[in-house]
Amino acid sequence: MALAVIYTRASIGMNAPRVTVEAHISNGLPGLTLVGLPETAVKEARDRVRSALINSGFQYPSKRITINLAPADLPKEGGRYDLAIALAILAASEQITSIKLNQFEFLGELALSGQIRRITGVITAAQAALKNQRKLITSLENTNELNLLPTESVYFCEHLLAVCHFLHDQNTLSHNQETPITNHKHSNITDINDIIGQQHAKRALEITAAGGHNLLLLGPPGTGKTMLANRLITILPDLTNQEALEIASIKSLCDISFDNEKWLTRPFRAPHHSASMAALIGGGSLPKPGEISLAHNGILFLDELAEFERKVLDSLREPLESGEIIISRAKAKVNFPANIQLIAALNPSAMGHYKGIYNRASPKQILRYLAKISGPFLDRFDLSIEVPLLPLGTLSHSTPTNETSFDIKQRVIQARKQQIERSGKINAKLNSKEAALFCKLKPNDALFLETTLNKLGLSIRAWHRILKVSRTIADLKQQQQIEKIDIIEAISYRSMDKLLIQLQKQIE
């Protein structure tokens, strides 16, 4: 026949819309015309496909070949369409005839030899194909990531010839097999008891993990802020299978390699303070995920917070509230998930200190340095704590604590279980109505909190954040009612607010 139709998948953000590859062969001047909004890499498929067909022993038709990638208004990029285009030409020239063609979708870049190379975004493509009741045939090099899928919906192949033989029932192809998702123990794993002293900070870290709150670590250099942030991973609950699959889908889009042994470990992303807005939130003409999406279901750690550009930090404000990032471009508008915990470390001044014998900065200089971070962005932190220099004698007389990350993790898991049973979500994700419903205070305690907020000059957003932190503190105690002592402890984790008020008074 002179016309053939093959199905494949594009990649637009977290979506994989279906692309129909139509091949038509007719008399005329030999050549291949590719239409359907292809960009440069797709247009180059004509040369890759031609060499792949010839080197696989097929005939390349010496006729007029027209390939249409429908829908025509959907941008197409990359070499992911090579395999489908090659099969469409073979079917249109009647070199292959198979009723199986309509049962499968095909994804893969072709080498000149006919070998099938890996592509990005293959997990979302496989899921979309399954919803349309088709199975996917793709490169053997994508096996590692596709084995995370719970159903046998993908076939793997190394060469174009093997695909053709499979379509004619002349051989079989291996398919994906669900990999048991387990966390392997490593002998050199970090532990929270590696940190000497800083008991107040460790307590704040436990509350942060239990409620999924955002945390700001404030203190001079060398006090353990970065160590504390890194240890948060060790006390967070493991990922669920669905969460692991979401992270794998994002990594697949960015062509990041997979480690089977760490699929249940939450991601920890720590971009350098020179990172651009596009690097942090995502971007490009056809947008790709940024650091905030790569940290989905995990931690985004911003060290040296004041050294980031202000507009870059402010670009995080909306996704921190909504849990997703929406990027609009001329060619596409895409959504990426961004359900993260934000952890940041901040020196209180350009000199590193703001009090004591090491301080060389005036209150105005300190305030000017801290003013590099906008107030609305600082409002996104549920807890801000000071991580001070250790008292004299702490290092020489320190004794390792018996409480390990595993011990704290069990309390965190129990507290989160209580939150899910009560509201269906962790405390940090409660909206204002849910916070009012599940974080009720006694009348006297509510008045006490409101009075304190007025003294500190805090916003209504701070009211809700303190309520949610108080709820988490009560959950760690397995209490049903929030007590005044819980509120007082929650207020104690507002070091940044207290510092700004103190500096303002000194200047006045």
Identify the residue whose tokens are 């003013």.
371
Query: How many CB atoms are located within 10 Å of the residue 196 CB?
Result: 14
Q: What is the token pair recorded at 225?
A: 């802020």
**What number is the average pLDDT over the span 124-143?**
93
pLDDT over 50 at 187, yes or no: no
Measured CA to CA, the distance from residue 461 to residue 190 in angstroms comes to 35
Percent of the chain with pLDDT over 70: 96
Instruction: Map 229-281 to HEC letters.
Output: HHHHHHHCCCCCHHHHHHHHHHHHHCCCCCCHHHCCCCCEECCCCCCCHHHHH
CB-based contact 58:113 (threshold 8 Å): no
Torsion of Cα atoms, 318 then 464 then 229 then 290, to 10°: -10
pLDDT over 80 at 297, yes or no: yes
pLDDT over 60 at 1, yes or no: no
The pTM of the full predicted model, rounded to 2 decimals, is 0.89
Tens of pLDDT, residues 476-497: 999 999 999 999 999 999 888 7
CB-based contact 116:160 (threshold 8 Å): yes
| Per-chain mean pLDDT for the chain | 89
Tens of pLDDT, residues 361-415: 788 888 888 889 998 899 899 999 998 877 776 666 666 667 888 999 999 999 9
